[in-house]
């Protein structure tokens, strides 16, 4: 292994300038001059977004291919660590629902990571951002995004070696390609978990509203923390509500606290984003709500694994998957059975459609 700067360690191949990630794609080291040229010197008009880490820019390489360039705001020990972690993890994972590394640049105090450009930007941009009024996220696309995100996270937990905890699963970190295929992104907070280790205790990182209780309170992080965050993401995806919303009286309410009374009262239709205008599949809605509420249970041991969540979203169940829930769980006690779960016209037609 070769150490990057003073903080992150990369395989020796990172120094050679080119490599192949396990997905079969090629990455390389870019020069700062190349990325300045591709982004028109990081022009404001090329900016795709901005966060605590810095900014992301659209760019076009000499061969015409489009890229997204994450440019760290300032150099610091913390920024260097997050940069190192992200490059190392992106260089070792391969899955159609994980963002692919194109390369990186490290010159002086500049730290940049280069990815494939995602033309539909992030899930956040469609739920609340610049695309939110365009109605592009119909029900089938939302289900596709739910399953794709789940499969990407499940790969990190169950198939990557060592296993990887993302620690920042949220709508802005689910990018969408031209076909609205989900690409889980941003691995700056990720943790590598050695075989046989159930959890680690660490400084809390992530985004308010998505944090599992045991992580937010005690810093105990495990794969189950990602499962909780994914449950919040599912509720967001079907409802169009933010993880934490401000009420009229100024108080704040989490999406989990908002969802629980609806679940108990059997009002599954009230989960649905009004922007869908009633066009959704009732059976799929019941299934997604079921999975979401299992994922956001307070006790981590009661939550499903990400692979179980994937199987449930696909409609695959064990002989009795309700056994995964406690007896007093509202998902199990019958509150989900409103309407018998039948589809309009009994044939899977979208509710509210003219078919």
Q: Cβ contacts of residue 21 below 8 Å, gap of 6+?
A: 27, 90, 91, 92, 93, 94, 100, 101
Contact 114, 87 (CB under 8 A): no
| Alpha carbons 202 and 279: distance in angstroms, whole number | 43
What's the mean pLDDT in 34-42? Answer: 98
Q: Cβ contacts of residue 28 below 8 Å, gap of 6+?
A: 17, 18, 19, 102, 103
Helices and strands counted in the chain (H then E): 9, 17
- pLDDT band for 183, please (50, 70, 90 cuts): very high
> 204 to each of 44, 109, 178, 208, 216, how far by Cα in Å?
32, 26, 34, 11, 6
Which of the two residues, 304 and 318, has the higher pLDDT score? Answer: 304
Q: What does the pLDDT read at residue 127? A: 96
Residue 44, φ and ψ in degrees, nearest 5 = -55, -35
Active-site residue, selected from the candidate residues 45, 116, 138, 168: 168
- 255-267 tens-digit pLDDT: 999 999 999 898 8
Contact 134, 188 (CB under 8 A): no
Does 70 carry a binding-site annotation? yes
What's the mean pLDDT in 198-225? Answer: 88
3-state secondary structure of 226: helix
- In order of their start, the domains of the chain are 2-116 (3.30.200.20), 123-341 (1.10.510.10)
Which of the two residues, 282 and 14, has the higher pLDDT score? Answer: 282
- pLDDT band for 196, please (50, 70, 90 cuts): low
The percentage of the chain sitting over the pLDDT mark of 90, rounded to a whole number, equals 60
Residue 112 has pLDDT above 80, yes or no: yes
Which has the closest alpha carbon to 306: 219, 230, 240, 220? 230
| Alpha carbons 323 and 319: distance in angstroms, whole number | 9
DSSP per position, 127-181: HTSTTTTTT---HHHHHHHHHHHHHHHHHHHHTSSSEEE-S--SGGGEEE-TT--
| Alpha carbons 120 and 99: distance in angstroms, whole number | 13
Q: What does the pLDDT read at residue 337? A: 32
Q: Is residue 265 among the annotated active site residues? A: no
Which has the closest alpha carbon to 258: 244, 275, 273? 244
- 77-105 tens-digit pLDDT: 878 888 888 898 888 888 999 998 999 99
| Alpha carbons 45 and 63: distance in angstroms, whole number | 21
Residue 197 has pLDDT above 80, yes or no: no
């Amino acid at each position: 292994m070769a150490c990057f700067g003073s903080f992150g360690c990369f395989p020796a191949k990172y120094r050679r300038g080119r490599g192949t990630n396990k997905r079969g794609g090629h990455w390389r080291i870019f020069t700062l001059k190349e990325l300045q040229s591709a982004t028109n010197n990081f022009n404001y008009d090329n900016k795709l977004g901005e966060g605590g880490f810095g900014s992301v820019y659209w760019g076009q390489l000499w061969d015409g291919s489009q890229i997204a360039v994450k440019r760290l705001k300032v150099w610091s020990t913390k920024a260097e660590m997050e940069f190192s972690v992200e490059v190392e993890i992106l260089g070792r994972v391969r899955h159609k629902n994980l963002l692919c590394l194109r390369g990186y640049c490290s010159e002086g105090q500049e730290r940049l990571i280069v990815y494939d450009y995602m033309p539909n930007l992030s899930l956040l941009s469609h739920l609340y951002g610049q695309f939110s009024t365009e109605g592009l996220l119909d029900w089938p696309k939302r289900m596709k995004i739910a399953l794709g995100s789940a499969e990407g996270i499940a790969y990190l937990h169950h198939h990557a070696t060592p296993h990887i905890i993302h620690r920042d699963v949220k709508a802005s970190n689910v990018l969408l390609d031209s076909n609205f295929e989900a690409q889980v992104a941003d691995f700056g907070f990720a943790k590598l978990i050695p075989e046989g280790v159930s959890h680690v205790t660490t400084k809390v990182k992530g985004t308010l509203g998505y944090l599992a209780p045991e992580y937010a309170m005690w810093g105990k992080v495990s794969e189950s923390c990602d499962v909780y965050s994914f449950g919040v993401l599912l509720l967001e995806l079907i409802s169009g509500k933010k993880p934490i919303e401000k009420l009229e009286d100024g108080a704040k309410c989490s999406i989990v606290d908002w969802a629980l009374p609806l679940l108990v009262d059997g009002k599954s239709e009230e989960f649905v984003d009004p922007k869908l205008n009633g066009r959704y599949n009732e059976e799929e809605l019941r299934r997604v709500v079921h999975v979401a509420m299992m994922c956001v249970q307070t006790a981590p041991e009661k939550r499903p694994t990400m692979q179980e969540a994937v199987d449930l979203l696909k409609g695959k169940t064990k002989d009795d998957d309700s056994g995964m829930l406690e007896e007093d769980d509202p998902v199990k006690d019958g509150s989900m059975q409103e309407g018998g779960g039948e589809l309009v016209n009994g044939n899977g037609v979208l509710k509210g459609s003219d078919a």
